[in-house]
Structure 1
């Protein structure tokens, strides 16, 4: 996240519509943070198999108001800003998604104003950055450097997004990804199981032709299920190398044995 902390929100979302008590209206930035977190994770594909964003209460408490965060979330649920699916004890936390009423909204960016929340966000991002880098390998850092050279043709990409079927860009998730690149807000993250996500992994194939590297358009090849194929190729290569090494040793041994047999000369 660049210097200024911004929330990424559906354009028709206004906290006052949902936080209707005097105590809660002061937590407007908490509501914006919660909505922004869901929208950003949705855009980046950080969802479960049903498209829900899983959020753990202990992390929400660390950033939102410790004693009022649950009241903010309940107000957003009760008045229809978000939807929630149950959690499985010991397995998964609650899952959230933005309400259908926001599905066709464009997104907007709004700067955070609550200094308490800003301080907590800063601390959280510093800790998260340390953890993120601890999971990265040299090739991930190299990819991160290359990604920062990317630009995107704004006019072309907006024409492409406008031509997409309405249901294929829910909550303007593709617009969120595009705006991140335009704002030079790049991210590379390696999950617990080694899966990498960045600014383009959740970008639709139709949009990627608008990407530029040193002003040149990019070409891409999408190889489905390539990881098992690459693993198989690597294993076969190693097996073949071992087999060849074994044959060379056998040949060397045979040559050595042959060289040790000296023909007897006649007397």
Structure 2
């Protein structure tokens, strides 16, 4: 099968699609022949994405923290566009703070998007996929889910919960032909990564990237053995693989895309 037709005739829902990894995932699905339902709270970002792909991309503003809105959107998509073949959870936020200074509202907001949002979207999609006996759900988590990070307790905990939730869901729906996997990126060239650098007081993007690549003994952080920051497209390729028929015998898997940064701890 030609790479540009791998997902021809299939419908993929992507959350957090307005920018970064989510936008890269949406573009990659379109490039491989899929029709994409791109969702995000950022309506302007969605419009920019849609302008590049007017024929095979439908944008729908969505707050994944609202379970009723998620259920309504998925029901409407299946009624008016078609049955979902793939659902990809990319929407995520990060509040950086040491635990001693972590605000309750930031903890709650992080879990509302990174964990509850994954529940809402995956549940709505899985209910329908199991009835058809086919489907793939991919959650974009983080390598922070598998290794402690200073100043990132809320983010790491929320992503770890999302990973285990996705595995448990995958176990429940496997006999019905639905596969559930996660992709766990490391440092990736996105707005979120650049915001972290800015919070640390760095104005030199190249210097900040070098520090991440080299690691930091003071924060107990290894470097990146492959010597580069990931591009969003690197993560998108992993998502598309797990969503594709090439991965038809893979489920409950957590694929790290971090250049070896965690030494797969």
- The TM tier, using the shorter chain, reads under 0.3
Radius of gyration: which is bigger? 1
So what's the TM-score if we normalise by structure 2? 0.23
